[in-house]
C-alpha cells in the first residue's frame, strides 16, 4: 500500500512536471538558463570606457557563458569600505588603480587573486610586474609629458623631466596633479634631479622632495582630476602637463592641440580586483580568464587608447595603432613601471609609503603657501 501510494504520488508529481514543461516549452528558448549561471557586477569608471568594455568584453562574455555582467561604479575605495563594513557587498570585480588597491588592501576590503585559477598561457603574455597579489593589471595608463602643440610645435616640446623642470629653456605654464587620490610625482622629481629611471626605486624621498620644491614656482595649477588637466591644456591655459598620456591621445583624436611625449613616462596599471565577500568566485575567474585574452584586449585598445597589458594584443593591432599605445614594445622601452611594492610598503609609522606621501603632499602644499 505504502509503496503504491508512494509510486502514485511520484507519478503524479512527474506527470505534473511533465505537463508544466509542455506548457512552458515555447518559452524555454526565449529565456535560456542564464539566471542559473548567475550574475557578476563589475564596478568601473563609466563613460566611453564602460561602453567599450560592454561591447568587447561584457556582451561577448555573456554570450559565451550565460553569466550576466552588470556594470556599476565608480569603484571608489570609500564606497567599497561602506559595502564591506555594512556586510552588503553588491560588487564582485573592480577596475581600479594601484593607489586605491593599496588603500583597500590596508583596510582589508579585497580578496587575494588566486593565480592558479587563471589561464597560464594568457597570463604569461602579461608582464610579471602586473601580477599583484590583489590586482591583475589589464589596462595600462601612464603619466607622461602632455603638451600643447601650439606652444611647442614641430618637436620642440620638452622631452625629459629635466626639461620640464627647466623654466628657462622651456617657457610655459605647468600643471601637475594634486589630490584626487594621486600620490606626488616623486619619481619624476628624482629623475629631473639626475637619478636614472632604472634606479629610481627605492625612492630617495628627501632628494625627490628637494627637487619637487624647485617645481613649485613653475606650476600654475595643481589640478585635482585629469579631465580638468586636459581641458586646461586644450584651452591653452597650460602648456606642459604631467597627466595621463592616453587621455591626451583621446583629446588629440578629437582635434585638440595636444600631443604626448612618451619618453620618460611612468607606467601604471588599472587592475581587475576582487571585492571581499564577493559570492560568485567561479564566475569571477571565468570572467577574468575571458578578459585577459590578448585578442579581447586588442579590441578594447582599438576603442580606447589605453595600453593592453597582454603583449599578445599587439599581434592583433596594426603598427599605426601600436604607435599610439603606451605598452607597444617601442613605447614600453622608453618608460618605466611604477613600483607597486615600494608605494605599498609599510613605513615605520604603520602607514604605507603611498599614504604617507599623500599626506606629506598636502602638508607641503599648505605650508609652503
Interface residues with other proteins (CB under 8 A)?
76-78, 81, 99, 103-104, 106-107, 173, 178-181, 216, 220-222, 224, 228, 235-237, 355, 358-359, 362-363, 365-369
Instruction: Output the smallest distance, CB 100 to other proteins, in A.
Output: 9
Task: Measure CA of the first residue to CA of the last residue in the chain; give whole Å.
Answer: 94
Give 299 or 355: the residue with its C-beta nearer to other proteins: 355
Give 221 or 302: the residue with its C-beta nearer to other proteins: 221
CA 123 from chain center: how many Å?
17
Give 328 or 352: the residue with its C-beta nearer to other proteins: 352
Q: Where are the alpha helices (DSSP H) in the chain?
A: 2-28, 34-37, 47-53, 59-65, 77-86, 98-106, 120-124, 161-165, 186-192, 205-215, 226-234, 245-253, 281-291, 294-303, 319-323, 329-334, 340-344, 353-367
**Which grid cell is 250?**
583621446
Helices (H) and strands (E) in the chain, counts: 18, 12
Give 197 or 275: the residue with its C-beta nearer to other proteins: 275
**Which grid cell is 136?**
591583475
Give 119 or 237: the residue with its C-beta nearer to other proteins: 237
Instruction: Output the smallest distance, CB 264 to other proteins, in A.
Output: 25
What distance in Å separates the CA atoms of residue 240 and residue 245, rounded to the nearest whole number? 12
Query: With b meaning 16 or more CB within 10 Å and e meaning fewer, what string describes 44-65?
Result: beeeebbebbbebbbebbbeeb
Instruction: Output the smallest distance, CB 72 to other proteins, in A.
Output: 18
Instruction: Output the smallest distance, CB 231 to other proteins, in A.
Output: 8
Select from 118, 121, 75, 126 the least CA-distant residue to 98.
Answer: 75
Instruction: Output the smallest distance, CB 224 to other proteins, in A.
Output: 6
- Three-class DSSP category at 140: strand
Give 51 or 235: the residue with its C-beta nearer to other proteins: 235
Instruction: Output the smallest distance, CB 46 to other proteins, in A.
Output: 17
Give 209 or 314: the residue with its C-beta nearer to other proteins: 209
Q: Are strands 68-72 and 131-132 parallel, antiparallel or unpaired?
A: unpaired
Instruction: Output the smallest distance, CB 365 to other proteins, in A.
Output: 5
Amino acid at each position: 500500500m505504502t509503496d503504491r501510494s508512494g509510486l502514485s504520488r511520484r507519478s503524479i508529481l512527474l506527470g505534473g512536471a511533465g505537463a508544466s514543461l509542455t506548457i512552458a516549452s515555447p518559452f524555454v528558448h526565449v529565456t535560456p538558463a542564464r539566471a542559473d549561471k548567475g550574475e557578476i557586477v563589475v564596478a568601473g569608471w563609466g563613460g566611453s570606457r564602460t561602453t567599450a568594455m560592454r561591447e568587447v568584453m561584457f556582451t561577448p562574455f555573456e554570450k559565451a557563458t550565460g553569466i550576466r555582467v552588470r556594470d556599476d561604479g565608480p569603484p571608489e575605495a570609500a564606497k567599497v569600505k561602506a559595502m564591506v563594513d555594512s556586510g552588503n557587498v553588491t560588487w564582485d570585480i573592480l577596475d581600479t588603480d594601484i593607489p586605491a588597491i593599496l588603500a583597500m588592501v590596508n583596510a582589508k576590503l579585497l580578496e587575494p587573486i588566486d593565480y592558479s585559477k587563471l589561464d597560464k598561457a594568457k597570463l604569461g603574455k602579461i608582464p610579471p610586474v602586473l601580477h599583484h597579489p590583489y590586482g591583475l593589471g589589464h589596462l595600462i595608463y601612464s603619466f607622461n609629458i602632455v603638451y600643447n602643440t601650439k606652444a611647442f610645435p614641430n618637436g620642440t616640446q620638452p622631452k625629459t623631466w629635466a626639461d620640464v623642470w627647466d623654466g628657462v629653456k622651456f617657457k610655459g605654464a605647468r600643471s601637475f596633479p594634486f589630490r584626487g587620490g594621486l600620490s606626488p610625482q616623486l619619481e619624476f622629481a628624482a629623475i629631473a634631479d639626475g637619478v636614472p629611471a632604472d634606479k629610481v626605486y627605492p625612492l630617495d624621498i628627501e632628494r625627490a622632495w628637494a627637487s619637487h620644491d624647485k617645481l613649485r614656482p613653475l606650476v600654475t595649477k595643481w589640478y585635482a582630476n585629469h579631465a580638468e588637466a586636459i581641458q586646461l591644456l586644450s584651452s591653452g591655459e597650460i602648456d606642459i602637463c604631467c597627466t595621463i598620456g592616453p587621455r591626451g591621445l583621446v583629446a588629440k583624436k578629437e582635434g585638440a592641440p595636444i600631443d604626448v611625449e612618451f619618453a620618460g613616462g611612468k607606467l601604471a596599471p588599472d587592475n581587475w580586483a576582487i571585492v571581499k565577500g564577493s559570492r560568485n568566485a567561479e564566475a569571477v575567474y571565468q570572467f577574468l580568464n575571458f578578459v585577459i585574452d590578448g585578442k579581447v584586449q586588442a579590441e578594447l585598445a582599438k576603442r580606447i587608447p589605453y595600453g593592453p597589458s597582454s603583449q599578445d594584443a599587439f599581434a592583433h593591432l596594426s603598427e599605426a595603432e601600436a604607435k599610439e599605445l603606451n605598452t607597444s614594445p617601442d613605447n614600453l622601452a622608453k618608460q618605466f613601471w611604477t613600483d607597486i611594492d615600494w608605494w605599498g610598503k609599510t613605513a615605520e609609522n604603520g602607514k604605507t609609503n603611498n599614504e604617507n606621501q599623500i599626506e606629506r603632499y598636502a602638508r607641503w602644499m599648505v605650508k609652503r603657501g
